Amino acid sequence: MSTSGTEKPTLPRYVEAALPVPLRRVFTYRVPEELRESLKLGARLMLPFGRRNVTGYAVGLHADLPADVEIDESKIKDIIEVTDEEPLITPEILKLTQWTADYYASFWGEMLKASLPAGINKDKVRPKRQKAVRLLSTIPDDIAKPLTEQQQWIVDLLVANGGEMLWTEILERADTGASPINTLAKRGLVEIYVQDIRRDPLAGAELPKRDDFTLTAEQQTALNAITNAGETDAFKAFLLHGVTGSGKTEVYIRAMRHALDTGRSAMMLVPEIALTPVFSRRLRAVFGSEVAILHSNLSTGERYDEWRRIRRGDARIAIGTRSAVFAPLENIGLVVVDEEHDPSYRQHESPFYNARDVAVMRAHLAGAIVVLGSATPAMESFYNAQTGKYTYLRLPERIGGRGLATAELIDMREVFKRFGKDVALSPELLDAIVETHARGEQVIILLNRRGFSQFVLCRTCGETLKCPNCDITLTFHRGAGNLLCHYCNHRERSPKVCPHCTSEYLYFVGEGTENIADQLTKKFPNMRIARVDRDTMAHKGEIEDVLLKFAGGHLDMLVGTQMIAKGHDFPNVTLVGVISVDIGLGLPDLRSAERTFQLITQVAGRSGRGKQAGKVLIQTYYPEHYALRHAKEQDYEGFYKEEIKFRERLAYPPFYVLASILIKHRDLAYASKQANILRRSLDTANQSKQARILGPAPASLSRLKNEFRLQIILKGTTRRNLRETLNIALADAEHQGCDLRTINVEIDPVNLM
Ligand code: ADP
Ligand code: ZN
Ligand code: ZN
């Protein structure tokens, strides 16, 4: 008999365990008599697995061996231990991780492990405990024996400190040593106990003052729609489309407040780097200790403590990055995903998932409201709003009537002609930096470092060389001097002149954007310049320091990548320069136009958030490209209309569902063999021809960590169809001798590179 988490189970004699291994199945174990009482669904278990002992998760309890288990009773092993008496994993998270693993063709056990705070299985984190002393009485029962001077001193100290102090605090102040405290305890005047110490990521932080302003009419309309929907226990999804600075965060905050007031909990997801100190403090100022913060820049201990506060129900609001979507909140009423278009919601290694989509499912399973917010919604989300799957809410204007920054395109082809050589920084941008600095205002320079893949650009006409079949930029392979399409495997020799205009100025783009920060430092020695990217910001707290310094006016210019584009509110920034951001447009990726548009719009939103008007200068080789034209006008709908046509024409999302299958092995011949078996199985599984299959072809990163990488792309008309074709094909391929360990499936890949 199977039991759910709520009804009282008859004592389980067998348990199904999900293990954190890349296998798509659960394992049955026997539960020794003495462990049956303490075993609950969702608990961690210590299990024998092969020759090792591993931590697994109890996902099914059974009084008798399930009928469909085809194993010999005598082969079933006993579990070794039940790790948690009180299960860490709630029934809701069990369900959600199962759905997620299934949806992403991923592994349940790995998903469960990813849902828990890091370090928990290896006992690398534990609660931090400290000895403390509590005053029970000031007068001894035994009046005949008065307190010694030292004992009296300690009693007085405790009284002065509200009756409770840490053991170490007392010892620091008193020069008595421990013995009088112990004596007081023996005499029943104080109690010595062990206290959980909360490692608080914001301990001692200064919190901003809370303005209790009235919402604008648009904000109020959006909030009402959200809170009214929350009155019922039905799932409902909103897309909150509001330009940067339009007051979205304020709407989230009040909606979360409402959820708390109605006795439910709430969650807010933010992109990887956006959870700045400024932002966390703003939420702490509103919600105090009701809010728990979960993100990768916390220490393991802080994360663990914040997670436990949620699990215990002490914190009813969880704010965090990607994996916070699995936070064990109970009775969740509202899920907010800020900057929902952001690619950092995508987990790029196993177990794959997109936290935005898992968030929608979480709300769905819980009968909660989900609000996806963005200034530049993902194509899929806006499409869902257009087709009525999401309810569309709009905040069209910045708070306080501040205009959006004006944007100008600087045509770098023209700059190239003027100088007769490459310059990374146009005179227009350099002049603007000088003027801005002279006014005492701040500058942000945005770079793009995604250009690791080389492609060919004509300096004269600005065209890139594209695949005749795929309308995607060809990738240059220097060794062979070939241009290669990573989608369909089309190859051609690299030409000597531009096929569009016959100019000889072909340029192989894709390297060296970092030195721009150095160039700026040399050009402006009197300016205080800091660089922010993944390389320079290796340590916890470093980004925070730089951002706080910049916000405080102790830096004049910030040079950085995507990281600085989003979320921050720097009122004194009036110039944003965008450099080589259009490198993205040349990458062989279905989302490059979307990413470029989003990035420019987001960073433009950093300019002119204060009283002064802001300016955005965009250096580009593609001034006519629709992504740039619409980004300049900050015209989302205009961009969407053109981009959606492209998606439809090429059978991309949201019209088709994609799976990217990577076949990886150190031996190329071996990888090819597996890829070919799988391709044949896919063709067999796809008799109805509903799905489209491309490849195998070398992946964009064709060799990584000593492994060759081949790619098959699968496009399905519906999710169900895609998953079915894939499942049948994988089973068949295995049957045909395909080595499934070489196969890595990614459903809904964010990019195809
Ligand atoms: P977004 O999340 O859309 O970028 P925010 O919610 O951060 O926008 O709002 C931008 C700024 O305007 C913040 O400093 C915020 O405190 C302020 N703000 C938001 N709503 C109002 C309002 N109704 N009245 C006055 N100021 C507001
Ligand atoms: Zn040309
Ligand atoms: Zn092609």
CB of 249 sitting under 6 A from ligand 1: yes
Q: What are the start-end ranges of the H helices in 120-239?
A: 149-160, 167-173, 179-186, 217-229
Atom number, ligand 1, closest to the C-alpha of residue 399 = 12
The ligand placed nearest to the CA atom of residue 507 is: 2
As a whole number of angstroms, the distance between CA 511 and CA 243 comes to 33
What is residue 452's predicted lDDT score, i.e. its pLDDT?
Answer: 37
pLDDT tens readout for residues 444-497: 998 765 433 467 788 788 888 887 776 667 877 655 678 887 667 788 888 888
Other beta carbons within 10 angstroms of residue 605's beta carbon come to 27
306 Cα to the center of ligand 1, angstroms: 27
CB of 373 sitting under 6 A from ligand 1: no
104 Cα to the center of ligand 1, angstroms: 36
- Segment-wise mean pLDDT, segments of 10 residues, the chain, 753 residues: 52 92 87 92 94 93 79 86 91 95 89 86 70 86 81 89 85 82 90 80 72 89 94 92 89 95 95 70 88 83 89 94 94 96 85 92 96 95 96 90 79 88 86 95 79 66 78 68 76 86 74 64 92 63 81 91 68 86 66 86 72 82 89 91 91 91 94 97 91 89 76 91 91 93 87 67
CB of 219 sitting under 6 A from ligand 1: yes
CB of 569 sitting under 6 A from ligand 1: yes
CB of 596 sitting under 6 A from ligand 1: no
497 Cα to the center of ligand 2, angstroms: 8
CB of 567 sitting under 6 A from ligand 1: no
| Per-residue buried b or exposed e for 547-576, using 16+ beta carbons within 10 Å of the residue's own CB | beebbeeebbbbbbbbbbbbbbbbebbbbb
CB of 620 sitting under 6 A from ligand 1: no
CB of 55 sitting under 6 A from ligand 1: no
Task: Tell me how far CA of residue 748 lies from CA of 532, 656, 714, in angstroms.
Answer: 30, 10, 10
Q: Is the pTM of this model over 0.85?
A: no
Give the burial class of 63: count Cβ atoms within 10 A of its Cβ; 0-12 exposed, 13-18 middle, 19 or more buried. middle
The ligand placed nearest to the CA atom of residue 491 is: 3
CB of 602 sitting under 6 A from ligand 1: no
CB of 607 sitting under 6 A from ligand 1: no
End-to-end CA distance of the chain: 46
Atom number, ligand 1, closest to the C-alpha of residue 242 = 3
Closest residue by Cα to atom 15, ligand 1, is 247
Atom number, ligand 1, closest to the C-alpha of residue 213 = 24
CB of 344 sitting under 6 A from ligand 1: no
What is residue 161's predicted lDDT score, i.e. its pLDDT?
Answer: 85
Closest residue by Cα to atom 23, ligand 1, is 215
374 Cα to the center of ligand 1, angstroms: 14
CB of 606 sitting under 6 A from ligand 1: no
As a whole number of angstroms, the distance between CA 29 and CA 577 comes to 61
The ligand placed nearest to the CA atom of residue 475 is: 3
CB of 215 sitting under 6 A from ligand 1: yes
The ligand placed nearest to the CA atom of residue 505 is: 2
Q: Which two tokens stand for residue 665?
A: 């092995």
669 Cα to the center of ligand 3, angstroms: 22
Helix (H) or strand (E) holding 619: strand 615-620
Closest residue by Cα to atom 9, ligand 1, is 247
Other beta carbons within 10 angstroms of residue 733's beta carbon come to 23
What number of residues does the chain have? 753
The ligand placed nearest to the CA atom of residue 413 is: 2
Q: In the 3-class helix/strand/coil scheme, how is 644-706 assigned residue by residue? A: HHHHHHCCCCCCCEEEEEEEEECCHHHHHHHHHHHHHHHHHHCCCCCCEEEEEEEEEEEEECC
The ligand placed nearest to the CA atom of residue 472 is: 3
490 Cα to the center of ligand 3, angstroms: 5
Atom number, ligand 1, closest to the C-alpha of residue 338 = 2
3-state DSSP assignment of residue 138: coil
461 Cα to the center of ligand 1, angstroms: 43
The ligand placed nearest to the CA atom of residue 464 is: 2
What is residue 604's predicted lDDT score, i.e. its pLDDT?
Answer: 77
Atom number, ligand 1, closest to the C-alpha of residue 214 = 23
pLDDT tens readout for residues 418-440: 988 777 889 999 999 999 999 99
Closest residue by Cα to atom 8, ligand 1, is 247
464 Cα to the center of ligand 2, angstroms: 8
CB of 464 sitting under 6 A from ligand 1: no
474 Cα to the center of ligand 3, angstroms: 8
CB of 245 sitting under 6 A from ligand 1: yes
Sign of CA dihedral 179, 185, 187, 189: positive
CB of 247 sitting under 6 A from ligand 1: yes
587 Cα to the center of ligand 3, angstroms: 13
Q: Quote the crossing angle between the two packed helices 626-633 and 592-604, to the nearest 10°.
A: 20
As a whole number of angstroms, the distance between CA 717 and CA 100 comes to 20
CB of 250 sitting under 6 A from ligand 1: yes
CB of 623 sitting under 6 A from ligand 1: no
What is residue 265's predicted lDDT score, i.e. its pLDDT?
Answer: 97
What is residue 251's predicted lDDT score, i.e. its pLDDT?
Answer: 96
DSSP character at residue 78: B
331 Cα to the center of ligand 1, angstroms: 29
Mutate to test the pocket of ligand 1, among 212, 223, 250 (most ligand atoms within 8 A of CB): 250
What is residue 168's predicted lDDT score, i.e. its pLDDT?
Answer: 83
CB of 384 sitting under 6 A from ligand 1: no
What is residue 650's predicted lDDT score, i.e. its pLDDT?
Answer: 84
What is residue 431's predicted lDDT score, i.e. its pLDDT?
Answer: 96
Mutate to test the pocket of ligand 1, among 249, 275, 397 (most ligand atoms within 8 A of CB): 249
468 Cα to the center of ligand 3, angstroms: 6
Closest residue by Cα to atom 18, ligand 1, is 247
As a whole number of angstroms, the distance between CA 479 and CA 481 comes to 6
Q: Which two tokens stand for residue 593?
A: 């136009």
User: Are the beta carbons of 442 and 573 closer than 8 angstroms?
Assistant: yes
3-state DSSP assignment of residue 156: helix
